[in-house]
Structure 1
């Protein structure tokens, strides 16, 4: 089967906080890309709204740097939640870019993905 993914995923496992309005969960972040995040389905997930107003927060390992991003739920199953990043502040975006850059190990690939990300934003 052909790979449909346009953005490299980085395995990054860390505790996180996921919020939607007055609800909050503590999933584990499994992996990240410049476009999305994969989380474990947290305890108490149950029935949730399918709105775009999720906020994910997590700290970089061995650091006091927190990344915050607004997410849209794309897909869910018993084990995982797949989110698309809808908005990310400039500081968090810079840290995310650096995290991907360090783990991808290919500058050409990273620059191509960043160009694709800007192309996607221009079409919305």
Structure 2
């Protein structure tokens, strides 16, 4: 088990949706690998020329075409093939969509409630 897995408190779900990472005027289409209530993992875009000292905005477009999850995120770990981000800020509409996605993909409702409590207490 990796150190990332040992520290992980929020269950990740595999989710495929059009995703874009933004930083100022820069834009990177990205392949979303998974997400949780607290962050997301994407396949490293090419070319990857971001300013790693600045935050990003992640935009995940949902199936209906009109809904999206928008998060202000910080790069937390970088590997050769993927980038892991932690959520710094998410608006209430995006959180509602994200909560619903996770809820639909987490079989254990008590686990979902634990994650929500931990998110609120952070």
**Which residues of 2 match residues 95-106 of structure 1 at below 5 A?**
95-106=97-108
Deviation (angstroms), 1:15: 2.1
Equivalences, count:
119
Is residue 2:17 matched to residue 1:6? no
Indicate yes or no: 2:19 matched with 1:16: yes
Q: What's the CA shift for 1:52? A: 4.5
RMSD over aligned CA atoms reads 1.4
The gaps in structure 2 that reach 5 residues or longer are none
Which residue of structure 2 lines up, in the alignment, with residue 55 of structure 1? 57
Aligned pairs (5 A) from 1:58-97? 58-97=60-99
Q: Is the 8 A contact 2:60 2:68 kept in 1?
A: yes
Encode CA deviations 1:7-53: one digit per residue, 9 max, x unaligned. Answer: 0101001221100112110011110000010001001113x222342
Q: Where has structure 1 moved over 3 Å in runs of 4 or more? A: none
1:5-44 aligned within 5 A: 5-44=8-47
Which secondary structure state, in structure 1, belongs to the residue aligned with residue 15 of structure 2?
A: strand
